[in-house]
Amino acid sequence: MRRMFLNGTAMSGQKDHHAVAGATFLGPARTRAAYRFYAVRDEFPGLLPVDEGGCSILGELYEMSEEILFESLLPAEPAELEIATIELDDGQIVNAMQLQPERLVPGDKVVDIADLGGFRAYQAHLAANRSIDDVLGSPAGSHR
């Protein structure tokens, strides 16, 4: 069994949560403040360990079998991510998906969202900005 920290589209209520069907939800969890967190193309997030300026990122902790991890979750992960070990704020060492910057395509939209604290907060930020644009009746940025 593996403990896996999820912080993106495989979390509960997200589009890829089915990839962890059968895993046991252990509860919300936070990384230690040693990571930056990036949204890639507004599609998925990625953790990146840093020596300075790190933040604590909110996610969910699951316990899952090797079968769920290797046959369901990992094949559903974007190519820009790779399984790694991270440290949670309570000192636990667990697995998580980590951003591999060298796999990004030049020109990809990559936004540092670490200060928001989590992917759901970024999704709420995007939704709020879409709502403003809907009210204004214009695409993002064209009303400036």
Kindly give the confidence (pLDDT) of every residue in the chain, 144 residues in length, as a single tens digit, with 9 standing for 90 and above. Answer: 999 999 998 998 989 899 999 999 999 999 999 999 999 998 999 999 999 999 999 999 999 999 999 999 999 999 999 999 999 999 999 999 999 999 998 999 999 988 888 888 888 888 887 766 666 665 554 444
Task: Identify whether 47 is part of a domain.
Answer: yes
3-state SS, residue 19: helix
Q: What is the pLDDT of residue 134?
A: 62
Residue 9, CA distances (Å) to 33, 53, 85, 116, 122 in order: 21, 25, 19, 16, 12
Q: Can you give the residue range of the structural domain that contains 86? A: 2-136
Task: Identify whether 142 is part of a domain.
Answer: no
Task: Identify whether 95 is part of a domain.
Answer: yes
Task: Identify whether 111 is part of a domain.
Answer: yes
Task: Identify whether 143 is part of a domain.
Answer: no
Q: What is the pLDDT of residue 133?
A: 60
Task: Identify whether 105 is part of a domain.
Answer: yes
Q: What is the pLDDT of residue 122?
A: 87
Q: Which amino acid is at 73?
A: L
Query: Global pTM?
Result: 0.84
| CATH number for the domain that contains residue 71 | 3.10.490.10
Strands 2-6 and 44-49: unpaired
Task: Look at residues 81, 98, 82, 80 and name the one whose alpha carbon lies nearest to residue 34.
Answer: 98
Q: What is the pLDDT of residue 136?
A: 66
Q: What is the pLDDT of residue 135?
A: 62
Task: Look at residues 47, 41, 60, 30 and name the one whose alpha carbon lies nearest to residue 107.
Answer: 41
Q: What is the pLDDT of residue 35?
A: 95
Q: Are 69 and 2 in contact, with CB atoms under 8 Å apart?
A: yes
- Joined tokens for residue 14: 């997200």
Q: Which amino acid is at 62?
A: Y
**How many domains is the chain built from?**
1
Task: Identify whether 93 is part of a domain.
Answer: yes
Task: Identify whether 29 is part of a domain.
Answer: yes
